[in-house]
Structure 1
C-alpha cells in the first residue's frame, strides 16, 4: 500500500478469520504496521447489545449533572464511574478535552488477587437495565478482543493463544463517551491528539465524523468506518511489547463542521489491558540488528498504567 495522504485504513471482514486465520492475521498486521489502525466488520458483538448500550449511554448522559456527579470518585483516577466534562487532558495539550465519560471495569469475585488494583464497578440507579447491558457489552468486546489478539499473535509468529494468559483477568475498561455540542468558536478539540495506553482499543461509534489519525508524513487522515463496523488501534503497551513493529499512532477527535456543532457525539471504546502483574518485556522476535531493543527494562502493566494516568491528569502526583 502506498504511503500517500490518499491512503485509507482498510476494512477487514472478521468473519473470515475462522476459515483463514493466517490470511486475516496478515491483513490485520499489515494494516497495523502501516497505520496503527484497522477497521473490522462482522466482529461478532451482537447488534441488540450494541443498540441497548447506545440507548443507555444517551439516557445516562441526559441525567442532571448533580445526579451524574454522585458517581464521581475524587482521587480515583476515573477508574470507575463518572468523570465530569473537561477533566481529562491529552499529554502535552494546552486545552482539556470536551467530553464526559463513564468507566465500566471487569467484575471480580470477592477476595480476588487483583482486587486492590481493580476497584469495584459503580452502577447508577437509572436508566433501568444499565448494569446488565454494559456487563453484556463488556463480555462481548472482551471476546472480540481476544480473537483480535490471536490474529496479532500469529502475525508476530507467536502461538495463536500467546496473549490468553497475558489478558486473563486483565484490567480492561469500557468507556462510555459523550462529547456535548460545541460553540462555533470553540478553540479546543473534542479530544486532543494522544495515543492510547493499553494493548489494543476496540471502538464502537466512530461513524460520526471527527476521528483522525496522524499519518507518517504529518497529515491527519480521517477514519470513517461504515455503520456497524469497529475501529481497532494499537496502544502503547503493544507498541512497547513489539519494539514498535506495531506502532501506537497519534489520533484525535476534532470539532465537527459548523452544521454539526449543535449535536452530541457518542462513542464506546473498549481499552483492552493485560493483567496488572503482566510484565511488558520486548518480544525477542521483534529485536533485530536494524531494530535494537528500545526498552531494556521490563515494566508491569500496572506501573505503566499509573505513570500514564498521571500524565493525562486523571491521577495527581
Structure 2
C-alpha cells in the first residue's frame, strides 16, 4: 500500500501505526430483497473507515459503488480506505448474498495525519487520533441491519448521476 502511494516501503510499519491494530472480520448475509423506491436496501448507502478493507464475496451481484453503479463481483476485492471510502450500498436482486469484509484500523492512539506527499500550502495537515476517527463514524454504524442511522440517500442520488 505504501509503494502505491509513493511512500517508503515501511511507512506504515511502525509501532505507533500498527503496534496494536484493530481488526474486524464480519460475516454478512443479505436477503435478496430490496425496494429502493421505499428505501429498503440489503445494505444502505455508507462509507467505511479505517486503513484498509478486504472483501470476500460469493460472486452474487448486488454491490453498488457511487458513480460506477453495479460492480462485478470478485472472490476477493481490495478496497483502499486510505483516502476515505467511496460511498457504496448493496441491493438485493432476488438471490441471497454473502460477504466477508475484513477491516484494518490503526492502533487506537495512532495519530492520523495527511500523508507527506499530499501536503502543500493549500492543504495543511490536520491531526486526529484513530479513536477520535472511530467516534466520528460511530453514529452511522448499525450492526444488525447494515443500514446506517444517518440517511445518506440524498448524497447517493447526487453521486449516481452520470
Q: Which TM-score bucket, shorter chain as reference? A: 0.7 to 0.9
- Structure 2 CA distance for aligned equivalents of residues 206 and 221 of structure 1: 19
Q: Please name the residue that 1:221 is paired with.
A: 69
The answer to whether structure 1 residue 170 and structure 2 residue 21 are counterparts is yes
Q: Please name the residue that 2:146 is paired with.
A: none
Map 1:115-264 → 2, pairs under 5 A? 152-165=1-14, 166-182=17-33, 187=38, 188-205=40-57, 207-215=59-67, 220-226=68-74, 229-235=75-81, 238-239=82-83, 248-256=85-93, 261=94, 263-264=95-96
- Structure 2 CA distance for aligned equivalents of residues 185 and 155 of structure 1: 36
What is the CA deviation profile of residues 189-216 of structure 1, one whole-angstrom value per residue up to 9, with x for unaligned ones? Answer: 111111111112100015110011112x
Contact in 2 for aligned 1:281/1:298 (Cα 8 Å): yes
Max radius of gyration: which structure? 1
Contact in 1 for aligned 2:66/2:88 (Cα 8 Å): yes
Cα shift at 1:224 = 1.3
- Structure 2 CA distance for aligned equivalents of residues 252 and 206 of structure 1: 16
Structure 2: runs of 5+ lacking an equivalent: 144-148, 150-162
What is the CA deviation profile of residues 53-104 of structure 1, one whole-angstrom value per residue up to 9, with x for unaligned ones? Answer: xxxxxxxxxxxxxxxxxxxxxxxxxxxxxxxxxxxxxxxxxxxxxxxxxxxx
Q: Please name the residue that 1:111 is paired with.
A: none
- Structure 2 CA distance for aligned equivalents of residues 212 and 183 of structure 1: 13
Contact in 2 for aligned 1:234/1:249 (Cα 8 Å): no
Cα shift at 1:169 = 2.5
SS in 2 for 1:203: strand
**Structure with the larger strand share:** 2
Contact in 2 for aligned 1:176/1:268 (Cα 8 Å): yes
**Structure with the larger helix share:** 1
TM-score, normalised relative to structure 1:
0.40
- Go from structure 1 to structure 2 and tell me whether the alpha carbon gap of 1:206 and 1:232 turns closer, same or farther (over 3 Å shift): farther
Give the paired residue count. Answer: 141
- Go from structure 1 to structure 2 and tell me whether the alpha carbon gap of 1:288 and 1:204 turns closer, same or farther (over 3 Å shift): same
Contact in 1 for aligned 2:60/2:73 (Cα 8 Å): no
SS in 1 for 2:20: coil
- Structure 1 CA distance for aligned equivalents of residues 58 and 7 of structure 2: 31
SS in 1 for 2:99: strand
- Go from structure 1 to structure 2 and tell me whether the alpha carbon gap of 1:250 and 1:184 turns closer, same or farther (over 3 Å shift): closer
The answer to whether structure 1 residue 303 and structure 2 residue 132 are counterparts is yes
